Structure 1
Amino acid sequence: MVNRKNVTDWIHRAPCSSKLERIEAFISGYGYDLHRHDTYAIGRTLSGVQSFQYRGQERHSLPGGTIVLHPDEAHDGQAGTVDGFQYRMIYVEPALIQQILGGKPLPFIKSGISADPRLYAATNALLQSMGSPIDALEEDDAVFDLAHALSAVSGIVESRKTFDYRAAEKAREFIHSAIDRTITLDELAEQSGRDRWSLSRDFRLLFGTSPYRYLTMRRLDLVRSMLIQGESLVAAALIAGFVDQSHMTRHFSKTYGLSPSRWLKMQRVGFAIAP
């Protein structure tokens, strides 16, 4: 643990993974404005009280539970006491969960915090120390266990509505191939072989967000990667397909709950002082 006396907020990112993002962070007071992202945010509080607004209620996470924030659900984050809080979090794309479950409505944990031991056990490997990468096969096993634990704990009831997972996946793959240009829903429909409104409905059901939000989030992923590498805000915004820096900053703040400059500062501090 970190000595919290005179310690500023920090975020430490684990070594890169092709499947998910892992972080450990310390927040001394107010952390994040209300925001939403299109991944699952799954983690645990290591020390202190982690407080956040979620689905119209204030939640308080203590060590021992598992936080499961659903894609595109608005939430913020702040310390529940003057001591601040330290936590670990993984960000998992719904598409990865779908690849394991085979195309089902996304598992949903209503309260945002679970005391279920199956989820706690399933996240142990993924929420281990950020200091070293997870072995590739260990990560695959852990993600498989996590997907099935989410499904079991959420109590998914099979929907009678028909949806086309393969068409939605084709649309998702096409978005990745065209991040830096304008994409229309008609174009996605043509690429997937599904009519535009059925595709839009299926995409939300299977991946937890709309096609446009998914495109925006992938652009923001690219922005964050370029900022870490030292690219300027202006250049990163334009390369990623945003109209300008202001356009990118608005989306960045709504998605992560802080400005690009503050986010980048926390990354730099995190690399310096995190364990």
Structure 2
Amino acid sequence: MRVATPSRGVERIEARFHGNGFSPHRHDTYALGLTLHGVQTFRYRGAERFSNPGNVIVLHPDEVHDGAAGTDDGLIYRMIYLPPERIGAVGGHRSALPFVGNPVVADAGLWQALADILGDLDHEPDDLALDDAVMRIATSLTQQASIPRKGVTATARIAVLSARDFIEDRCSEAVRSEDLEAITGIDRYELARQFRRLLGTSPHRYLVMRRLEQAKRLMSIGTGLAETAAAAGFSDQAHFTRHFRKAFGMTPGRWNELRTGSR
């Protein structure tokens, strides 16, 4: 697995494997990718899916999926993990996130936008290139969306973004529902509803994923698993490992092995 240097909250990877690659898991980002070699198979929304070279994979935030090579030839694919707020920003955060019902699509414009941003994993894309790709990707997702996007009020948008900023600033600390109610001025249930419409996940899942992002940064500089768990806000290493597997389909130790090429 090749992991490009994260850029402005955007992660890009290339994966190569035979057999089963990932156990069931879910991200809080859009996971968008290109099948480059072999047959990419995965279970998504209750059905087995298959993608051949030339197809685009579109996984909505918080949807459980796994991943495997569909033939003995093995599999090569590249993915970009885009924070939902980047997709929402293209529409000025005025609408709920676009939901694409079919996770395997043939869309030349979307394919090219992804190819442009995934073509070079050795260097970070500059701001203009990334912004252009995000705009083209968001436009294609909206065109492919099977459910019309609902409007979001300005009050709800401000509340959600305030809650998001609060969580990001305190991701290694305890964040309570009372805290979010106090800074947003709306009750926890309405906040959870609007948070999911704009960011594709719940406030709790958003908090856990920010902790996991911090944990990955710490592991990438050689921090041990126990120290990483504590620094990122998890109660212990077992708690950290459980959430990591749910989010990425493998243990933290296995992720480190694949990232570094070690055994």
- Return the match for 1:92 from 82, 94, 111: 82
Q: What CA RMSD, in Å, does the superposition of the two structures yield over aligned residues? A: 1.7
Q: Does the CA-based 8 Å contact 1:119-1:153 persist in structure 2?
A: no
1:60-209 equivalence runs, <5 A: 60-103=50-93, 104-154=95-145, 156-159=147-150, 164-209=156-201
For 1:4, the equivalent position in structure 2 comes to none
List runs of 5+ in structure 2 lacking aligned partners: none
Q: Which residue of 2 aligns with 1:7?
A: none
Are the equivalent residues in 2 in contact too, given 1:122–1:149 (CA < 8 A)?
A: no
Q: Please tell me whether the aligned partners of residues 237 and 243 of structure 1 are also in contact (alpha carbons under 8 angstroms).
A: yes
Alignment correspondent of 2:14: 24
SS at match of 1:242: coil
CA drift at 1:200:
1.1
What do residues 136-158 of structure 1 show as CA deviations (whole Å, max 9, x unaligned)? 21111111111121112215524
1:139-194 deviations in whole A, cap 9, x for unaligned? Answer: 11111111121112215524267571111011000000111111111211111222
Tell me whether 1:34 sits opposite 2:24 in the alignment.
yes
1:222 is paired with a residue of what secondary structure? helix
Deviation at 1:77, TM superposition (A): 0.5
The residue aligned with 2:211 is 219
8 Å contact kept, 1:32–1:257 = yes
AA matched with 2:34: R
Q: How far apart are 1:30 and its partner, in Å?
A: 1.1
Count of residues paired in the alignment: 261
- Structure number with greater CO (CA < 8 Å, separation at least 6) is 1
Moved beyond 3 Å, runs of 4+: 160-163
Q: Map 1:226-265; keep pairs closer than 5 Å.
A: 226-265=218-257
CA contact (8 A) 1:68 1:109 kept: yes
Q: Report the alpha carbon displacement of residue 130 of structure 1 after superposing the two structures with TM.
A: 1.4
Q: TM-score, normalised by structure 1?
A: 0.90
State the alpha-carbon separation in 1 of the partners of residues 150 and 214 from structure 2.
35
User: Of the candidates 252, 258, 261, which is equivalent to residue 266 of structure 1?
Assistant: 258
CA–CA separation in structure 1 for the residues paired with 2:255 and 2:152: 41
Q: Secondary structure at the match of 1:138?
A: helix
Unaligned 5+ segments in structure 1 are 1-10, 271-275
Distance 1:18 1:111 in 2: 28
Distance 1:155 1:206 in 2: 17
Whole-angstrom distance in 1 between the partners of 2:226 and 2:58: 34
- CA change 1:80–1:155 in 2 (3 A) is closer
The one-letter code of the counterpart of 1:151 is T
SS at match of 1:125: helix
Q: Given that residues 101 and 148 in structure 1 are in contact (C-alpha distance below 8 angstroms), is that contact kept between their aligned partners in structure 2?
A: no
Between the two proteins, what is the percent identity of the paired residues?
Answer: 44
TM-score by length of 2: 0.94
Q: Residue type matched to 1:261 in 2?
A: G
Deviates further, 99-108 or 202-211: 99-108
What one-letter code is carried by the residue in structure 2 that aligns with 1:153?
A: Q
- Residue 6 of structure 1 corresponds to none
